[in-house]
């Protein structure tokens, strides 16, 4: 590695136009997700310094007025003059595709593939201040909405090295500019796991009287990551399997531990970037681990001669795994970097799994036996699920009414235009049927509590009288067979009472979707209806309110100047308490309703929440309640 990181390693590809006009192209959206992406881009630049071996500490702070400060102790951005005639630092912050990641010797391995991060953050910020500590001097420059307002100057002497970046997101660009500490905390924890020994400190200093701090540093790297993922689960073997290997400049490492649950949780990364859509490294992992476990089972007679091979689904049941690769010239699909395309990484991962996992299983027969027993049980359950599925299909084929009997379907057949309301109870279902627009809105009433799938395999889902109507109505299958392209309705809207029972039913449904129909959530098809909490009546004047604050405001408006005006305020706990016209106007009409889209910004956090709330362990659930009880609202008393 060349320690001489200077302007000759900064390459200019094109200018900075269009970022402010089309920010979504660069950061995904102008909502909360895009806002937090700004922080990730600057932190990723600091982590690239860590990958290069020159940084071991990063401090991220949320300052008053939601200003972000990122401080690293790397080499510092080059400050000498580039061949283009301006300082290298100015180039990095004002031009797209300008950086040390395009084949120069500045960085060999980098997550910042496209070299747009710093410039995009600058362009989308009201102001950006950059302070560079390098070669004994402290340098500073300032920007506003991408333009230089103070050229790079020397501001003093320094004994440290590194870069400090402060920026304030532009309120003209973003829908909101309030950072969520827990969102940043999750990302910083993840990056610390992926970079063993790197210290990342996160502080929320917006309230100086109550500074919140999290500090992350994991010498165990991705082994600690798997341990964290399984912290609320029961492992079937104590030791975390860790294997790694390299070829040339490429490195691959994998950590695995099985738990007694029924869901797989495989997270893959390339150069510290989460590859949410997988890619070659994940493909290599999946194919190799299936082959290795089958080979082990055959060699040691844990699979009988007449047994079929275990499927990939079987060997991954209950698996938590991290796949992390580092490589030169990573080829991602798009700026979102969601899928790795380098075919050589498939070969490398297959090789280390094939050689080193096989050796590990032979050297650790107790672990191998636990994995084999888990996989064989999964295969038996899969076979039971197959038979149940075939029986279900036969019943549908012989039944003239293939759709659930209680489903009130709509006339429209284009999924892009249709909505399915899953409604708690027959009474509310009756109101919803009366209040719907039957052209595009379908109603499926449910009654009673359904199966908690967090504690059940897929074979238990088939034949379940509460879940099968949902599977049949959606028409896209379930589990590994789920195909979102076959979905019969574009919006799946959960409509339950605003009480404890209603919340429980929503959680059960969301657990089912997350565990057995995850693409349904990932593609944004699941919504939660928001019926009004309060009804205010004064004579013939009827108003509704969705929050306590709105109730107070509406009450004041209805009272006007009459302080003793009689206004009846009632709390709506049940959907069945509203007649069809009320339900239509407040909760179902697209023009006047409020829907909450269910999204998965953080799959790790979502997995943990469902495990805590719906799993077998009581202590994590008690700890969760203790932590969040003060935020609970609208519960029965």
Do 377 and 421 share a domain, yes or no?
no
Site of tokens 């036969």: 394
The pTM is what? 0.79
Q: Could you give the CA distance from residue 421 to residue 403 in angstroms, rounded to a whole number?
A: 15
For residue 143, give the 3-state DSSP assignment. Answer: strand
Contacts 24+ apart (CB under 8 A), 383-391: 384/459, 385/457, 385/458, 385/459, 385/461, 385/462, 385/479, 388/459, 388/462, 388/463, 389/462, 389/481, 391/462, 391/463
Dump strand ranges (E) for 217-318: 241-247, 250-258, 265-270, 273-274
Q: Would you say residue 564 lies in a domain?
A: no
Q: Would you say residue 420 lies in a domain?
A: yes
Q: Could you give the CA distance from residue 37 to residue 184 in angstroms, rounded to a whole number?
A: 9
pLDDT, residue 8, reads 65
Residue 151, C-beta contacts closer than 8 angstroms, at least 6 positions apart? 87, 90, 141
Q: In the numeric block, which tokens belong to residue 457? A: 């395999």
Q: Could you give the CA distance from residue 159 to residue 431 in angstroms, rounded to a whole number?
A: 72
In this structure, what CATH number is given to the domain that contains residue 360?
Answer: 3.30.230.10
Q: Could you give the CA distance from residue 120 to residue 20 in angstroms, rounded to a whole number?
A: 8
Q: In the numeric block, which tokens belong to residue 35? A: 């806002």
- Domain around 408: 403-531+596-631
User: Which region holds residue 297: left if phi is over 0, alpha if psi is between -120 and 50, else beta?
Assistant: alpha
Q: Would you say residue 410 lies in a domain?
A: yes
Q: CB-based burial of residue 39 (10 Å sphere; 0-12 exposed, 13-18 middle, 19+ buried)?
A: buried
Q: Could you give the CA distance from residue 245 to residue 243 in angstroms, rounded to a whole number?
A: 7
Do 342 and 408 share a domain, yes or no?
no
Q: Would you say residue 395 lies in a domain?
A: no
Among 326, 252, 278, smallest CA distance to 52 is for: 326
Q: Would you say residue 251 lies in a domain?
A: yes
Q: Would you say residue 268 lies in a domain?
A: yes
Torsion angles phi and psi, residue 578, rounded to 5: -90, 140
Do 412 and 505 share a domain, yes or no?
yes
In this structure, what CATH number is given to the domain that contains residue 427?
Answer: 3.40.50.670
- What DSSP state is assigned to residue 373? H
Catalytic sites, residue numbers: 424, 497, 499, 501
In this structure, what CATH number is given to the domain that contains residue 92?
Answer: 3.30.565.10
Q: Would you say residue 248 lies in a domain?
A: yes
- What DSSP state is assigned to residue 184? H
Do 272 and 124 share a domain, yes or no?
no
Do 334 and 456 share a domain, yes or no?
no
Site of tokens 């910004």: 601
Do 526 and 416 share a domain, yes or no?
yes
260 neighbors 320 (Cβ within 8 angstroms): no
The whole-angstrom distance between residue 488's C-alpha and the CA centroid of its chain comes to: 25
- Residues of the chain below pLDDT 50: 12-15, 100-107, 112-115, 335, 398-401, 636-637
pLDDT, residue 255, reads 98
281 neighbors 379 (Cβ within 8 angstroms): no
pLDDT, residue 224, reads 96
Dihedral angle computed from the Cα positions of residues 533, 538, 539 and 543, in that order, rounded to the nearest 10 degrees: -40
Q: In the numeric block, which tokens belong to residue 467? A: 């879940």
pLDDT, residue 632, reads 59
252 neighbors 323 (Cβ within 8 angstroms): yes
Dump strand ranges (E) for 437-525: 441-446, 491-495
493 neighbors 595 (Cβ within 8 angstroms): yes
Do 194 and 281 share a domain, yes or no?
no
pLDDT, residue 363, reads 95
Residue 468, C-beta contacts closer than 8 angstroms, at least 6 positions apart? 392, 404, 461, 462
Do 151 and 300 share a domain, yes or no?
no
615 neighbors 453 (Cβ within 8 angstroms): no
514 neighbors 442 (Cβ within 8 angstroms): no
Q: In the numeric block, which tokens belong to residue 21? A: 């006009």
pLDDT, residue 101, reads 46
Whether the CA torsion 402, 404, 405, 408 is positive or negative: it is negative
pLDDT, residue 334, reads 53
Domain count, the chain: 3
- Which of 216, 240, 261 finishes a domain? 216
Do 228 and 209 share a domain, yes or no?
no
- Which of 162, 182, 216 finishes a domain? 216
pLDDT, residue 107, reads 47
Do 182 and 62 share a domain, yes or no?
yes
392 neighbors 310 (Cβ within 8 angstroms): no
Strands 199-204 and 57-63: parallel
- What DSSP state is assigned to residue 455? G
- Which of 170, 189, 216 finishes a domain? 216
Do 67 and 118 share a domain, yes or no?
yes
Do 457 and 517 share a domain, yes or no?
yes
């Amino acid at each position: 590695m060349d320690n001489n990181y200077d302007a000759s390693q900064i390459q200019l590809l094109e200018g900075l136009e269009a970022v402010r006009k089309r920010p979504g192209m660069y950061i995904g959206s102008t909502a909360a997700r895009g806002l937090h992406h700004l922080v990730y881009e600057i932190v990723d630049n600091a982590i690239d310094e860590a990958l290069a071996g020159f940084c071991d500490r990063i401090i991220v702070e949320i300052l008053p007025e939601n200003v972000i400060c990122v401080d690293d102790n790397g080499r510092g951005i080059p400050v000498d003059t580039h061949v283009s005639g301006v300082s290298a630092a100015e180039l990095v912050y004002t031009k797209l595709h300008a950086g040390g990641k395009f084949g120069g010797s500045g960085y060999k391995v980098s997550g910042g593939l496209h070299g747009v991060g710093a410039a995009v953050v600058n362009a989308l910020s009201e102001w950006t201040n950059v302070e560079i500590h390098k070669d004994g001097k402290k340098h500073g420059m300032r920007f506003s909405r991408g333009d230089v307002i103070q050229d790079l100057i020397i501001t003093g002497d320094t004994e440290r090295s590194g870069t400090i970046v402060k920026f304030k997101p532009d309120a003209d660009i973003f829908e909101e500019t309030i950072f969520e500490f827990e969102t940043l905390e999750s990302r910083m924890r993840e990056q610390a796991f992926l970079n063993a020994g790197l210290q990342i400190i996160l502080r929320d200093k917006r309230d100086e009287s109550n500074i919140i701090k999290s500090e992350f540093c994991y010498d165990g790297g991705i082994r600690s990551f798997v341990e964290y993922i399984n912290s609320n689960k029961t492992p079937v073997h104590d030791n975390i399997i860790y294997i790694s290997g390299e070829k040339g400049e490429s490195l691959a490492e994998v950590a695995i531990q099985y738990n007694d649950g029924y869901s797989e949780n495989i997270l893959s990364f390339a150069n510290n970037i989460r590859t949410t859509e997988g890619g070659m490294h994940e493909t290599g992992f999946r194919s190799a681990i299936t082959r290795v476990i089958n080979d082990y089972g055959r060699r040691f007679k844990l699979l009988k001669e007449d047994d079929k091979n275990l499927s990939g689904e079987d060997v991954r049941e209950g698996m938590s795994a991290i796949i992390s690769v580092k490589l030169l010239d990573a080829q991602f699909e798009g700026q979102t970097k969601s899928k790795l395309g380098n075919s050589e990484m498939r070969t490398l991962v297959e090789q280390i799994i094939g050689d080193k996992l096989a050796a590990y299983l032979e050297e650790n027969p107790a672990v191998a036996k636990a994995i084999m027993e888990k996989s064989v049980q999964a295969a038996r359950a899969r076979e039971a699920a197959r038979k149940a599925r075939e029986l279900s299909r036969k019943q549908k084929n012989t039944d003239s009414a293939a759709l659930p009997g209680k489903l009130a379907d709509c006339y429209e057949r284009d999924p892009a235009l249709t909505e399915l309301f899953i409604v708690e109870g027959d009474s509310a279902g009756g109101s919803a049927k009366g209040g719907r627009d039957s052209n595009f809105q379908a109603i499926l009433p449910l009654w009673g509590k359904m199966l908690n799938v967090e504690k059940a395999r897929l074979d238990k889902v088939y034949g379940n009288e509460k879940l099968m109507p949902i599977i049949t109505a959606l028409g896209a299958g379930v589990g590994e067979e789920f195909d979102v392209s076959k979905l019969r309705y574009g919006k799946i809207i959960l409509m339950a009472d605003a009480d404890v029972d209603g919340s429980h039913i929503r959680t059960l449904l969301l657990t089912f979707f997350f565990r057995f129909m995850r693409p349904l959530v990932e593609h944004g098809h699941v919504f939660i209806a928001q019926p009004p909490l309060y009804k205010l009546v004064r004579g013939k004047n009827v108003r509704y309110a969705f929050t306590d604050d709105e109730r107070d405001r509406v009450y004041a408006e209805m009272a006007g100047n009459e302080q003793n005006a009689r206004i009846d305020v009632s709390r709506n706990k049940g959907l069945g308490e509203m007649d069809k016209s009320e339900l239509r106007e407040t909760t179902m009409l697209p023009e006047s309703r409020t829907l909450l889209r269910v999204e998965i910004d953080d799959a790790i956090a979502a997995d943990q929440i469902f495990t805590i709330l719906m799993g077998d362990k009581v202590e994590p659930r008690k700890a969760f309640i203790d932590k969040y009880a003060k935020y609970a609202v609208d519960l029965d008393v």
